[in-house]
């Protein structure tokens, strides 16, 4: 069990459709302030499975950079974006688990209205569409669940205002998993608060993890999960998205400094921190440096005494239904397959006064400003695709 203190938060703003708004549900919403036993803070690991097959989208990438490389992946059938097993092995090696949010998109020509057919962006997105019920995808999703990872909903692009579609996508995913889905995150973080959260509740989901930014990293919506309806439904604000970080290939120290600053801020505030790494970013050829940075974030979190796991495991660990204000209630430490209280036996990589982001005695940056994504990053955010090990179908 964990101690839970309900606190009314101040107004929080959300960027929605280019306009900054303050949803009424957040103006006085209580917070879920709870940590698993002996944890300095919580670090929730998440992955949005946007595009597990690169396929013909490589032609689009070839028009933007490295045409020879991208054309070779198309012609050879190589699929560098299938990274399920690689990420599972990395996390298993570190003794942690994460959440994987899965898309179940409509077919552009069969399911969407004709007005959507003329938008080039819709065709770029459609080229990477995948079927969650296919043998290959369903098999890896079941392997994730069986191995202790969480598989959740990645609400498709048009679902923010479509409760029927959210219910349909949730039901389809549950049929694949042969079990319930606990929560999810909206594709492109497209959110209509608080209505989308209400639709999640109607679909039987316990949480959403869409509240965040695609361009800035930070605790913009507070240090703790939000209860927008003052009930059991929880919103996990997003702290870090991979594409919002400085490019770790070109600016590795800046990327680590950004992550380290936020990890230390989380530890200082007993925070629940959430990070998103798209599976395609683990392809070293396509996005060099991201795989090592992700490992470093987990290891640094362990050094700082974080509990690390999926949002579902966090809710299980703190027992979100316990009586608010119970000072004696603490959550039991769990094993790695359910998230873990992972203060480790390994020696810290940095001594006091040194910069852990460089592995040496360089002074840590005191710049508290937001680090923005590099405009030169390979694989434009416009495409926003995740790819896979195997060729396009």
pTM: 0.76
Cβ-proximal residues to 184 (8 Å cutoff; 6+ apart), any chain: 101, 152, 153, 154, 155, 170, 200, 205, 208, 209
For residue 194, whether the previous peptide bond is cis, meaning omega lies within 30 degrees of 0, is yes
Residues listed for the chain: 393
207: phi then psi, degrees, rounded to nearest 5: -155, 160
Task: Evaluate whether 42 touches 236 at the Cβ level (below 8 Å).
Answer: no
Residue 50 confidence (pLDDT): 92
- Domains of the chain as residue ranges with CATH: 31-341 (3.20.20.370)
CA distance 366 to 302: 23
Q: Digits of tens for pLDDT over the chain (393 positions)?
A: 343 333 333 333 444 443 434 455 576 789 999 999 899 999 999 999 998 876 666 656 666 767 666 666 776 777 888 999 999 999 999 999 999 999 996 655 556 667 776 777 665 666 667 899 999 999 999 999 999 999 999 999 889 999 999 999 999 999 999 999 999 999 999 999 999 999 999 999 999 999 999 999 999 999 999 999 999 999 999 999 999 999 999 999 999 999 999 999 999 999 999 999 999 999 998 899 999 999 999 999 999 999 999 999 999 999 743 433 343 333 433 444 455 433 333 333 343 345 677 654 333 333 333 333 333 333 333 233 333 333 332
């Amino acid at each position: 069990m964990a101690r839970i203190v309900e606190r009314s938060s101040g107004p929080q703003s959300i960027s929605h459709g280019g306009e900054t708004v303050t949803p009424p549900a957040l103006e006085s919403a209580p917070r879920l302030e709870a940590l698993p036993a002996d944890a300095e803070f919580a670090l929730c690991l998440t992955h949005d499975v946007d595009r597990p097959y690169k396929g013909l989208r490589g032609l689009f990438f070839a028009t933007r950079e490295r045409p020879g490389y991208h054309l070779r992946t198309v012609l050879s059938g190589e699929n560098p974006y299938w990274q399920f097993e690689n990420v599972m092995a990395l996390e298993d090696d570190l003794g942690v688990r994460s959440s994987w949010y899965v898309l179940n998109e409509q077919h552009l020509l069969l399911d969407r209205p004709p007005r959507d057919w003329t938008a080039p962006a819709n065709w770029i997105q459609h080229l990477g569409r995948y079927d969650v019920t296919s043998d290959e995808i369903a098999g890896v999703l079941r392997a994730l669940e069986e191995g202790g990872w969480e598989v959740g909903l990645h609400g498709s692009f048009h679902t923010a205002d479509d409760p029927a579609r959210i219910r349909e996508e949730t039901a389809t995913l549950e049929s694949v998993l042969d079990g319930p889905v606990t929560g999810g995150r909206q594709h492109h973080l497209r959110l209509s608060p608080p209505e989308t959260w209400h639709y999640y509740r109607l679909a039987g989901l316990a949480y959403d993890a869409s509240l965040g930014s695609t361009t800035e990293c930070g605790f913009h919506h507070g240090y703790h999960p939000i209860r927008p309806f003052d009930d059991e439904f929880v919103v996990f604000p997003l702290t870090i998205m991979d594409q919002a970080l400085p490019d770790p290939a070109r600016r590795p120290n800046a990327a680590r400094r950004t992550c380290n600053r936020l990890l230390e801020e989380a530890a200082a505030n007993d925070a629940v921190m959430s990070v998103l790494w798209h599976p395609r970013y683990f392809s070293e050829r396509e996005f060099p440096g991201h795989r090592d940075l992700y490992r470093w974030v987990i290891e640094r979190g362990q050094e700082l005494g974080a509990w690390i796991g999926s949002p579902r495991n966090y809710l299980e660990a703190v027992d979100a239904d316990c009586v608010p204000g119970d000072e004696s209630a603490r959550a039991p430490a769990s094993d790695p397959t359910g998230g873990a209280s992972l203060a480790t036996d390994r020696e810290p990589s940095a001594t006091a006064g040194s910069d852990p982001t460089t592995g040496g005695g360089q002074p840590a940056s005191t710049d508290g400003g937001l680090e923005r994504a590099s405009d030169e990053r390979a694989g434009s955010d416009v495409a926003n695709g995740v790819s896979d090990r195997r060729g396009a179908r």
